[in-house]
Amino acid sequence: MVDTGASVESEEIVEFLKQDIQYKKVCHQIWSQRVIERATQERGIVVTPEEIQAEADKQRQAMHLEKAADTLAWLADQRITPDDWEAGIRLRLLTQKLADCLFGNEVEKFFTQNRLDYEQILLYQLILASEPLARELFYEIEEGEISFYEAAHLYDIDPERKRRCGYEGKVYRWRLKPEMASAVFAAPIGEVVGPIKTDLGYHLLRAEEFIPAQLTPERSQEILNRLFGQWLESEVNYLIHSESS
């Protein structure tokens, strides 16, 4: 059989990852997997074949793989076997179970202690390079000579934000610089705030809606992932240092 060059050896993959500066990232993912496997074994956490099957069925449905032949064709295209796929599903389910075991009871407490961080606003923002221009536009907007959206469309330093007329969407308090967060969250809805100077320029801000913090299922999962991610990073660092010493 003629070698078409379609096969890839393990050594080639490693060499490519090193050349593409991805080797460390992949190693970190492997170390994370080791930590998860060890931690779940120590705690007696297991994933049953039925749970793997249910998750596989969910994935097949999401990808519209209605027939077994469709699934096998998809796996072949991904260059993986059914066992590889099930191993990946097992690891993800183990990870979720471990996160629930370690931090499931901590989510509500963390949310309560950090409630302010999870408040949101529907934010419009205008960033300018010049303070005099920022002040001039502030007063023109206040006097109704130009709308905030028109000013953003004409004068913002970022082309993409210009196109959006300053629209930033829903923004968490913690994502804003402290001086910006304190000012815009304290201002009445619709009032222009600024100019506030940062390393990006001079900001004018306008909140169109205040969204109180709520512990929704999505936010619970977000907090759980955050707590687990911090724990996993610490455990991986310990593993690396213990193996190198």
CATH number at residue 159: 3.10.50.40
> Residue 198 domain-assigned?
yes
- Residues 106 and 102: their CA atoms lie apart, in Å, by 8
* 1 within some domain: no
Q: Which amino acid is at 141?
A: I
- Note whether residue 5 is domain-resident: no
81 and 157 together in one domain: no
User: Are 44 and 102 found together in one domain?
Assistant: yes
* 24-36: average pLDDT: 91
* Sheet strands side by side (includes 120-128): 167-172, 120-128, 201-211, 192-198
103 and 60 share a domain?
A: yes
- 103 lies in the same domain as 24: yes
pLDDT computed for residue 117 by the predictor: 84
Strands (DSSP E) contained in 64-144 are: 120-128
Give 44-54 pLDDT, tens digit per residue: 999 999 999 99
- What is the predicted pLDDT for the residue at 2? 38
Global pTM? 0.71
Q: Determine the pLDDT at residue 87.
A: 94
If pLDDT is split at 50, 70 and 90, which confidence band does 3 have? very low
Residues 95 and 128 in one domain: no
Claim to verify: residue 17 and residue 47 sit in the same structural domain: yes
* Domain around 95: 10-108+222-244
**Structural domain tally of the chain?**
2
Q: Please provide the average confidence, as pLDDT, over all residues in the chain.
A: 90
> Which residue type occupies 122?
L
Q: In the structure, what pLDDT confidence band is assigned to residue 4 with cuts at 50, 70 and 90?
A: very low
Q: Considering the domain boundaries, does residue 113 fall inside one?
A: no
Q: 171, 173, 154, 172: which is closest to 163 by C-alpha?
A: 154
The answer as to whether 115 is a domain residue is: no
- Given a cut of 60, whether residue 5 has pLDDT beyond it is no
In a shared domain, residues 44 and 97: yes
Query: How many CA atoms lie within 13 Å of 115's alpha carbon, on the beta-carbon side?
Result: 8
Q: With contact defined as beta carbons under 8 Å apart, do 148 and 124 qualify?
A: yes
197 and 231: one domain?
Answer: no
| For residues 65-69, average pLDDT | 90
Tokens of 145: 């000579």
Q: Which of the 8 DSSP states describes residue 165?
A: T
Q: H or E element: which one contains 181? A: helix 178-186
Residue 16, in any domain of the structure: yes
Domain shared by 22 and 94, yes or no? yes
- In the chain, the N- to C-terminal Cα span, in Å, equals 49
Give per-residue pLDDT as tens, 98-148.
999 999 999 999 999 999 888 899 999 999 999 999 999 999 999 999 999
84 plus 136 within the same structural domain: no
Does 2 map to a domain?
no
Q: Which range has the worst mean pLDDT, 4-13, 83-92, 163-172, 218-227? A: 4-13
Q: Do both 126 and 194 map to the same domain? A: yes
Q: Are residues 51 and 24 in the same domain?
A: yes
Beta-bridge partner residues of 48? none
- Tell me the one-letter amino acid at 15: E
Tokens of residue 87, six digits = 């191993």
Q: Is residue 39 part of a domain?
A: yes
Q: Residue 179: what pLDDT?
A: 87
Q: Residue 4 burial by CB count (10 A; 0-12/13-18/19+): exposed, middle or buried?
A: exposed
